[in-house]
Amino acid sequence: MPGFMGIVSDKVHGFPEDFDPSFPVLTSRKEETKRFENAWFKRSIIDKFMDDKVYSEDRDVFICSDGLMLNARELKNKYACEDNFHLLKSLYRNSPSSFPSELRGDFDGVIYDKNLDSWTLYTNHIGSKWVFYCFDKEARCFVFGTELKMVVAGMRALGIEPELCEEGAYFLLTFGYMLGDYTLVKGVKKISPGSALTLKNWELESEEYYRLRNKPYIEDSEDKIIKTLDELFRDAIKAEYDKDLEYGYGHVATLSGGLDSRMNVCYARKLGYKDILNITFSQSNYLDEQIAKKIASDWGYDFLFYSLDNGNYLKNIDLPVFVNDGLVLFSGSMHALKIQSIISWSNIGLVHTGMIGDLIVGSYLLHPHHSSVSEEIIKKTAYSSKLMEKVDSEVFYKLKNSYDTDELFAFGERCINGVFNGYRVSESFSEYASPFLHVDFLDYAMSISPILRYEEKVYLDWILQEAPEAAKYPWEKTGLLINAGKLRKFLRKGMRYARRKILGPSPMDSMNPLKYWYKTNTSLRETFEDYYRKHIDLLSKNPELQKDVEKMFNEGTPLEKTQSLTLLAAIKLHGLEK
């Protein structure tokens, strides 16, 4: 996987010259290593968007950045900088701990200040790029990296044997992903979104430069709000598609039967971007395929479909865990990995998505008002409640109380720690973006009154008013046009529910009908059961956790089985069975 890692320790002097753990490889890449007086650093990159990926130094600083800075050109003009290295250095000099606030895009990085002998790690506003770290002040050791597995390798190089974090294990078995800054390894944390972490004089300090908020609410008319949404969305689309053109790349965009990816492609078309390859994956003939194929055909774009029939793509359990470090259930993004692995990326730029559009415009509002974090939102954001009582209550209490509203909890946990799993897949091949997550759009949209955003009201009104061409096709969520009446939606929903109750699992239940596949595909069922039998003893030194995993796998739904298998695969990957 592309990214970077570093070790800061007096023990670096004792490293053998050939100490150079390889980053896991799915696609060809370039690797570079540096040694400083008390530090060792390495990066691994795909040969794409190279000007955005700074790796340079002068007598004052060493800078490594990863991902994309969508507004780098504008900022270089603003600060009269000749390149991105000098831009980042200038921003850092102006504000050492909050300099990323001016950047836009999905990025992370590290700056070593040679004069202060300090290391500053940072991630973007929404934490879509993950950076992990382990700090031991007493032992004077600091290990960091964009992959948990590389931090684990660095720990072992320093003589620190990693141990399983049971809090993280139960998060995986309930929510299906980590919560907060937790990982599966004791003492290893993830940098919080919108934060910079600085090591200086063996003191570690985190400073938050950005926090997403719901309040104060925007007090404009709905018509004015829709016009502003439209304007900000256009700016976001232009920023990400222009980045492709800056490097001479073509475009690739996900497209389904939902509204979010459709709005991405619709606005790209409005703004004149051509030659977009639309990619879709689902059960054959499900609404996602039917609707996306029709849209791509009508709008004149190429279309690539990957069939998920029978769920055979889920038989390789180790590969997706290898990609996401086992921090999210493996079934969550394997389909994206499959389709992206068959694309030729040499002339294609970033992966354009509609990631989290529905959440931003209201789908996680439980009521037309905000509330504190409740059991209702916890249930909505968790994949399983079977072992919820095993989640550490004190840890959980602190996490819940760190959010002002239930909706912010849903965004901060399910989105950042869960849904961004899809981005880990794209990092194996290119970079990625979603206009809904462009921070200027995000800030505005999340501040719209919940009265307007409840049941996606303002979202649907925005589409009907500003993008009526996108409203001509059914919405996968309802199977109807978005302006269908409430009675028709109610009846359609009732018919779907009744059919499932009477007939049981069907291949047309969803884009990935896991219950149906598990019931009808003997090979898939045997693969899951065989993997479980071969690896359950990895938990033998954690008897209570082992008993819980046994119960969850043997009594749980197929989805809960994937949570159990993800934990076992992650323990194997990181060597946490000891």
* pLDDT (tens digit per residue) in 215-230: 999 989 999 999 999 9
**Torsion 454-456-459-461 (CA) sign:** negative
For position 503, what pLDDT does the model report? 67
Name the CA radius of gyration of the chain, rounded: 23
Characterize 137-166 residue by residue with b for buried, 16 or more Cβ atoms within 10 angstroms of its Cβ, and e for exposed.
Answer: eeeebbbbbbbbbbbbbbbebbebebebbe
* Residue 442 and residue 360 in contact, taking contact as beta carbons nearer than 8 Å: yes
Tell me the per-residue pLDDT of 523-563, one tens digit each, with 9 for 90 and over.
Answer: 999 999 999 999 999 999 999 999 999 999 999 999 999 99
Distance CA 299, CA 488 (A): 28
> Per DSSP, what are the bridge partners of residue 66?
108
> At 389, is the secondary structure helix, strand, or coil?
helix
Quote the percentage of the chain above a pLDDT of 70.
97
Q: What is the average pLDDT value for the chain, to the nearest integer?
A: 93
> Per DSSP, what are the bridge partners of residue 112?
62, 119
Q: Where are the alpha helices (DSSP H) in 427-472?
A: 439-446, 450-453, 457-466
Q: Summarize the chain as % helix, strand, coil (round to 5).
A: 50, 15, 35
Long-range interactions of 89-95: CB distance < 8 A, separation 24+: 89/58, 89/60, 89/61, 89/63, 92/61, 92/63, 92/120
> At 216, is the secondary structure helix, strand, or coil?
coil
Tell me the per-residue pLDDT of 340-374, one tens digit each, with 9 for 90 and over.
Answer: 999 999 999 999 999 989 888 888 899 999 999 98
Quote the percentage of the chain above a pLDDT of 90.
82
Side-chain-side CA neighbours of 138 within 13 Å: the count stands at: 1
For position 513, what pLDDT does the model report? 93
* Lowest mean per-residue pLDDT among 81-95, 420-434, 540-554, 564-578: 420-434
HEC letters along 344-355: CCCCEEEEECCC
> Per DSSP, what are the bridge partners of residue 40?
7, 35
Count of CB atoms situated within 10 Å of the CB of 186: 15
* Residue 64 and residue 109 in contact, taking contact as beta carbons nearer than 8 Å: yes
For position 26, what pLDDT does the model report? 61
Which pLDDT band holds residue 328 (cuts at 50, 70, 90)? very high
Distance CA 69, CA 71 (A): 6
* Residue 47 and residue 29 in contact, taking contact as beta carbons nearer than 8 Å: yes
Distance CA 566, CA 190 (A): 19
Count of CB atoms situated within 10 Å of the CB of 398: 11
Distance CA 26, CA 24 (A): 7
Torsion of CA 342, 346, 348, 350, to 10 degrees: 90
Distance CA 577, CA 326 (A): 14
Tell me the per-residue pLDDT of 437-457, one tens digit each, with 9 for 90 and over.
Answer: 999 999 999 999 999 999 999
- What secondary structure does DSSP assign to 1-30, as a single string? --EEEEEEEGGGGGS-TT--PPPP-SS--E
Which pLDDT band holds residue 487 (cuts at 50, 70, 90)? confident
Distance CA 566, CA 330 (A): 6
Which pLDDT band holds residue 423 (cuts at 50, 70, 90)? confident
Which pLDDT band holds residue 510 (cuts at 50, 70, 90)? confident
Whether residue 566 has pLDDT greater than 80 = yes
For position 496, what pLDDT does the model report? 74
> Per DSSP, what are the bridge partners of residue 133?
144, 189
* Residue 93 and residue 115 in contact, taking contact as beta carbons nearer than 8 Å: no
Q: Which residue has the tokens 């389904």?
A: 256
* Lowest mean per-residue pLDDT among 138-152, 319-333, 415-429, 522-536: 415-429
* Residue 176 and residue 563 in contact, taking contact as beta carbons nearer than 8 Å: yes
Structure tokens at 257: 């039967």
Tell me the per-residue pLDDT of 144-175, one tens digit each, with 9 for 90 and over.
Answer: 999 999 999 999 989 899 999 999 999 999 99
> At 77, is the secondary structure helix, strand, or coil?
helix
Whether residue 182 has pLDDT greater than 90 = yes
> At 50, is the secondary structure helix, strand, or coil?
helix
Distance CA 438, CA 168 (A): 29
HEC letters along 253-308: EECCCCCHHHHHHHHHHHCCCCCEEEEEEECCCCHHHHHHHHHHHHHCCEEEEEEC
Distance CA 347, CA 241 (A): 14
For position 24, what pLDDT does the model report? 56
Tell me the per-residue pLDDT of 79-117, one tens digit each, with 9 for 90 and over.
Answer: 999 999 999 999 999 999 899 999 999 999 999 999 999
pTM: 0.95
Which span out of 32-46, 232-246, 491-505 was modeled with the highest average pLDDT?
232-246
Tell me the per-residue pLDDT of 47-75, one tens digit each, with 9 for 90 and over.
Answer: 999 999 999 999 999 999 999 999 999 99
For position 227, what pLDDT does the model report? 98
* Residue 326 and residue 567 in contact, taking contact as beta carbons nearer than 8 Å: yes
Which pLDDT band holds residue 27 (cuts at 50, 70, 90)? low
Distance CA 427, CA 94 (A): 30
Which span out of 297-306, 476-485, 487-496 was modeled with the highest average pLDDT?
297-306
